[in-house]
Amino acid sequence: MDPRLLALLAAPFIGSFLGVLVVRLPASRTVVWGRSACEACHRRLAARDMIPIVSFLALRGRCRSCGTPIGRLHLWIELAALAVAASAAIRAPGPGALWADCVLGWGLLALAWIDARTQLLPDALTLPLLLAGLAATYWLDPAALGNHALAALLGYGAFALIALVYRLLRGRDGLGGGDAKLLAVAGAWLGIAPLPWVVLVAALLGLAGAAALAARGQVMRATTALPFGPFLALAIWIMRLG
Ligand SMILES: [Zn+2]
């Protein structure tokens, strides 16, 4: 089977798993492969109720037993995982790069979603994604491993330094340690040269996001916490595909 087709078929199931990860990982609950029961009536879900995207549409977004609307989070994240696979498939120079891109994209998707919900970037996700970036580099382009490993250190160091200066000047935390680790992930996957672009694109996306919130009437203060992780994740994905 064409690996691109395989990636597209697998994506909604991966998205289903990411949905469980997004809900349970920050709450330190057990992460299992999929949702197992209705969250309202606790009826165990049958296999036909757990097909990503398809079941939601077939059930018109309601539990088969109690009729309680099913949260949209799972549907959106399954569609987003599909979009990740589709954008990776368009670029893919070969099956190896395709699967590597999917791993990065799906990991970034989970991290962005968790950061948006909880303002946290769990080490349990950033660190494996960093190691996966070095492993993928070694697998696809062994000669670039040194550059990418150095880029991970530089990414972490540069962000940690900015956060430290910010804390000294403003007396409070502006950027989380998780953002530094996410920039280390960027370095591991992209190498040194694209790193400044990742920061620039993320900052521009962040400004656009803040402007969009302000336009919707939300009061933006210097202290309004806008998680930076989702913008950083999107910038990494743009630079990877660019
Ligand atoms: Zn139910």
pLDDT digits (tens, 9 = 90+) for 96-151: 999 999 999 999 999 999 999 988 899 999 999 999 999 999 999 999 999 999 99
Q: Is residue 42 domain-shared with residue 120, that is, in the same domain?
A: no
Backbone dihedral region for residue 51 (phi beyond 0: left; psi -120 to 50: alpha; all else: beta): beta
Give the SS3 label for residue 36.
Answer: coil
pLDDT value, residue 220: 61
Which residue did the predictor score with more confidence, 129 or 207? 129
Q: How far apart are CA 39 and CA 61, in angstroms?
A: 13
Give the structural domain span for 230. Answer: 96-242
DSSP lists the bridge partners of residue 62 as 69
Q: How far is the CA of 82 from the centre of ligand 1 (A)?
A: 26
Q: Is residue 155 domain-shared with residue 190, that is, in the same domain?
A: yes
Asked whether residue 234 carries a pLDDT value surpassing 60, the answer given is yes
Q: Is residue 173 domain-shared with residue 78, that is, in the same domain?
A: no
Q: Which amino acid is at 123?
A: D
Q: How far is the CA of 131 from the centre of ligand 1 (A)?
A: 40
pLDDT value, residue 165: 82
Q: How far is the CA of 35 from the centre of ligand 1 (A)?
A: 12
> Which of 17-26, 165-174, 185-194 comes out lowest in average pLDDT?
165-174
Q: Is residue 189 domain-shared with residue 219, that is, in the same domain?
A: yes
The two three-digit tokens of residue 105, written as one number: 């994209």
Q: What is the mean pLDDT of residues 211-232?
A: 77
Q: How far is the CA of 37 from the centre of ligand 1 (A)?
A: 8
Q: Is residue 59 domain-shared with residue 13, that is, in the same domain?
A: yes
Q: What are the contacts of 83-88 at 24+ separation with CB within 8 A?
A: 84/11, 84/109, 84/237, 85/7, 85/8, 85/10, 85/11, 85/14, 86/8, 86/11, 87/237, 87/241, 88/7, 88/241
CB-CB contact of 230 with 115 (8 Å): yes
* Of 29, 60, 91, the domain-final residue: 91
Q: How far apart are CA 172 and CA 164, in angstroms?
A: 10
Q: How far is the CA of 34 from the centre of ligand 1 (A)?
A: 16
Q: How far apart are CA 154 and CA 138, in angstroms?
A: 19
Q: How far is the CA of 17 from the centre of ligand 1 (A)?
A: 20
Q: How far is the CA of 68 from the centre of ligand 1 (A)?
A: 6
Q: How far is the CA of 62 from the centre of ligand 1 (A)?
A: 8
Q: How far is the CA of 41 from the centre of ligand 1 (A)?
A: 4
Q: Is residue 175 domain-shared with residue 237, that is, in the same domain?
A: yes
Q: How far is the CA of 73 from the centre of ligand 1 (A)?
A: 16
* Of 91, 118, 142, the domain-final residue: 91
Which residue did the predictor score with more confidence, 241 or 71? 241
> Which of 54-58, 182-186, 236-240 comes out lowest in average pLDDT?
54-58
Rounded to the nearest angstrom, the gap between the alpha carbon of residue 151 and the centroid of all alpha carbons in its chain is 20
Q: Is residue 231 domain-shared with residue 192, that is, in the same domain?
A: yes
Cα dihedral sign, 14-78-180-146 = positive
Q: What is the mean pLDDT of residues 196-212?
A: 91
Asked whether residue 208 carries a pLDDT value surpassing 60, the answer given is yes
For the chain, how many structural domains are there in total? Answer: 2
Which residue did the predictor score with more confidence, 158 or 152? 152
* Of 91, 110, 139, the domain-final residue: 91
The structure tokens 């370095």 sit at 187
Asked whether residue 33 carries a pLDDT value surpassing 60, the answer given is no
Confidence of residue 242 (pLDDT cuts 50, 70, 90): confident
Q: Is residue 135 domain-shared with residue 205, that is, in the same domain?
A: yes
Q: Is residue 108 domain-shared with residue 35, that is, in the same domain?
A: no
Q: Is residue 207 domain-shared with residue 230, that is, in the same domain?
A: yes
Q: What is the mean pLDDT of residues 78-83?
A: 96
Q: How far is the CA of 81 from the centre of ligand 1 (A)?
A: 25
Q: How far is the CA of 21 from the centre of ligand 1 (A)?
A: 21
DSSP lists the bridge partners of residue 44 as 37
Q: Is residue 108 domain-shared with residue 213, that is, in the same domain?
A: yes
Confidence of residue 40 (pLDDT cuts 50, 70, 90): confident
Q: How far apart are CA 65 and CA 70, in angstroms?
A: 12
Q: Is residue 85 domain-shared with residue 196, that is, in the same domain?
A: no
Q: How far is the CA of 79 from the centre of ligand 1 (A)?
A: 23
Angle at 217 between CA 216 and CA 221, to 5 degrees: 115
Q: How far is the CA of 16 from the centre of ligand 1 (A)?
A: 18
